[in-house]
Structure 1
């Protein structure tokens, strides 16, 4: 069993009101270096893109804009950006927006420096220098601004895959709660619940000491460090998510959601995520739902299955979330708590609500088991039969 743990940190993090001003100091390092901004039409319409442009203009930084990023970036999206900008001497890439914009920026940043096709890096390491990345999130959810993972939906292979490398962790993450004030309720709910799932799965992950001494992977289980980040993230998100969904102009709620998302990212980028996220990859192939909606739906059922395997952590999770116990079994209470939370923020609680068919469940169980980098982190050992039972419980 492993007797020591490792913790990998991200680059520089700037958090708080008007943190965008830090760009002035960052660009002293990148003076006159052409920048590619990757964002979407919603960010453009909100006026946030213009705020960034004004900053770059005032620093005399040449820049290009790609503002057609879409939810769940595809391999074709990456190819489209590269076709337009690979010959324009891009030295810095900014991801401005939600996790999809930042993930697309990450992929473009490393693909600018290689002639290999994108799918090469589904299974091979990135062993070359990557164009510097600045991540500026406008949603509170993915934690992509501090992780070395970019998720791509490969339309040719009918596959959603996470490209993982320390080299694609952004060098700079700028988190300003003011930029999240205009986030719509549904986006707030889907991204926010995903951040909560990140924190819970990191907190309850298999402990690092339960892995073999020679185990090497991007995700290595829970440690004291990941527990500190994850526990605080759970406190912040459970205390602010419902208010942020109902009253998006509440700065305090937005602040706590963004900070919670950041801490959850710092936790899961080391400890890992597990069953709910692994299942989400399989579900995504059958339901046109946002990633966060799916992970949030699966979380109560994952907790119910895993509860007894990591009892001290799940009892602590119960303590954090439930202020007034009704004296029921703690597993039942925490399950009911998350089902109620999903309903309060208008998210589904059953797979059939999002279009999954009962006949899909066996194949989903098989596919989920195949995502070993996540299932290895699950605190309770599972097989296809166990997963099928969880999917059936979540179905109706």
Structure 2
């Protein structure tokens, strides 16, 4: 039996619609049982991936193969003098590739930091980009590539609606090689760039298959320099990516679009994304604690690097939902919180921490919409679900998740990050426009539901 219902699809011409045939259906594409069209297709897209100890030394070869004559290498201040960047530059030099280094990527990028990188890229007219870093560096590089390839575009043109215009990317971008130095974001596989929109005091993003890296480099050697808290919060991001992408609404329940070019990168769960998401959960359950507390455990850190990539393929095609939706204002409204292991000149809630801090409340809330999937996620994390009841799915997944969080030292709720109940209205306000992810929730969440979830998340354990 197929895991998804097959819907018969009929095509209604615009001409026929204008003349009354199918006049009650405004779209050119409709299903036979529902005149308001639902999505009928999903797409599988991810970057090419190369994994192996020492593969970074091949980047010069890749640059030549991709025709790179004037290459931009992007990184941040924390990494600029460390082996991942040094190895990348040495490889480019060894293969005679001309490059310029941009080392001002901001940890948790803002609209202004993206604009600085975009201006640098427009000025030098690069024909290939190399991002060396975690998700912040990769997301900055994606945006720089996107906008420098179309210098006349306005900044909000491609930013997700309703915050931006949400225009599809129809111009050609340059090749991009992404070298991962953390095991968490999966950004080396996805067409997503997330940043803080300072005027809004919340994060938002750009999502398009067009900006995903051409090649993702997974070199376990780079994880040897990853601090404990970076390992913890990037690792727990893998777990949230995987659970959210497995529990988002099915792609076939999402409202369709007349123009397929507007089909979003985040499509809803589907038979392919499910495979990657569940695999990422199983690997994360086995290795995350070892990865956090044993920096010399190359097996664990290598496994988490691959789990991050797998989760990236899963959520890059299915999407995330409420945990990520609420994480954006949590990051944007941070007051004075900083975390050990993150060298930053500004208050900072690491992305994975901002996501997982509401996860126990979220999955308890969404479980009634698809209890089987929540139980399957708990099972992938090691829980014996053979005698579990569907009505207990949310409670079970919450308890399993809390054990993982406690085992790697995740702080106790939003209050531990400096928030109070008085901040809840602002957090709700910042979440509501995040349609790219919130509209994929298997259970709708309006202002009242978001208020309840954020209030419950003030204290986690």
TM-score range, shorter chain: over 0.9
- 1:318 deviates by 1.8
Q: Is the 8 A contact 2:39 2:255 kept in 1?
A: no
Match of 1:138 in 2: 181
What is the match of residue 265 of structure 2?
218
More moved, 21-30 vs 273-282: 21-30
- Aligned match of 1:86 in 122, 125, 128? 122
Partner SS, residue 189 of structure 1: helix
Distance 1:294 1:326, change over 3 A: farther
Deviations 1:119-177 (A, max 9, x none): 33222333211122111110011111111111122334544220122211111111111
Kindly report which structure 2 residues correspond to 1:190-229, keeping only aligned pairs within 5 A, or say none: 190-214=233-257, 216-229=263-276
Residue 230 (str. 1) matches residue 286 (str. 2): no
What is the CA–CA distance in structure 1 between the aligned matches of 2:115 and 2:438, rounded to whole Å? Answer: 31
TM-aligned CA deviation for residue 3 of structure 1: 7.0
1:271 corresponding residue in structure 2: 318
Please state whether the residue corresponding to 2:320 is helix, strand or coil: coil
State the Cα deviation string for residues 71-107 of structure 1 (Å, max 9, x = none). Answer: 1112222332344443323111111000001011111
Name the structure 2 match of 1:42: 78
Counterparts of 1:83 and 1:376, CA distance in 2: 33
> Residue 293 of structure 1 is aligned with which of 353, 356, 380?
353
Q: Deviations over 1:334-372 (max 9, x none)?
A: 212222222221221311111112012133224323322
- Find the residue that maps to 2:188 and give its secondary structure: helix
Structure 1 vs Structure 2 CA RMSD: 2.1
What TM-score does the superposition give when structure 1 sets the normalisation length? 0.93
- Greater shift, 24-33 or 168-177, is seen at 24-33
Match of 2:290 in 1: 243
**Which ranges in structure 1 are unaligned for 5 or more consecutive residues?**
none
Contact 2:76 2:106 in 1 (8 A): yes
1:297 touches 1:342 (CA, 8 Å); kept in 2? no
Normalising by structure 2, we get a TM-score of 0.81
* Unaligned segments of structure 2, at least 5 residues: 1-33, 160-164, 335-347
Residues 83 and 367 of structure 1: is their aligned pair in 2 closer, same or farther, counting only changes over 3 Å?
closer
Among 427, 442, 453, which residue is 1:390 paired with?
453
In 2, the alpha carbon distance for the partners of 1:231 and 1:92 equals 34
Q: 2:418 aligns to what?
A: 355
Separation of aligned partners in 1, 2:437 and 2:54: 36
Pair 1:218–1:323, CA change in 2 (3 A) = closer
Change (3 A) 1:128 1:212: closer
**Aligned equivalents of 2:61 and 2:185: distance in 1?**
26
* 1:252 to 2:299 alignment: yes
Structure 2 counterpart of 1:152: 195
Structure 1 or 2, whichever has the larger Rg, is: 2
Closer/same/farther in 2, CA of residues 92 and 349 from structure 1, 3 Å limit: same
Structure 1 pair 101–235 and aligned structure 2 pair: CA distance change class (3 A): same
Equivalent pair of 1:342/1:349 in contact (CA under 8 Å)? no
Structure 2 residue 404 is the aligned partner of structure 1 residue 368: no
Asked if 2 retains the 8 angstrom alpha-carbon contact of 1:207 and 1:221, the reply is yes
How far, CA to CA, are the matches of 1:267 and 1:43 in structure 2?
Answer: 28
**Aligned-pair distance for 1:268?**
0.7
User: How big is the shift at 1:191?
Assistant: 1.0
Greater Cα shift, 104-113 or 147-156: 147-156
SS of structure 2 residue aligned to 1:135: strand
User: Which residue of 12, 33, 45 maps to 2:48?
Assistant: 12
Structure 2 vs 1, CA of residues 32 and 364 (structure 1 numbering), >3 Å: closer, same or farther? closer
For residue 115 of structure 1, what is the aligned residue in structure 2? 152
Equivalences, count: 396
Match in the other structure for 1:346: 409
User: Structure 1 residue 226: deviation in Å?
Assistant: 0.5
Aligned with residue 337 of structure 1, among 377, 400, 404: 400
Task: Give, in whole Å, the separation in 2 of the partners of 1:46 and 1:22.
Answer: 18
Distance in 2, matches of 1:156 and 1:212, equals 30
1:89-108 alignment runs, 5 A limit:
89-108=125-144
* Closer/same/farther in 2, CA of residues 222 and 98 from structure 1, 3 Å limit: same
The change in CA–CA distance for 1:155 and 1:393 in structure 2 (over 3 A counts) is closer
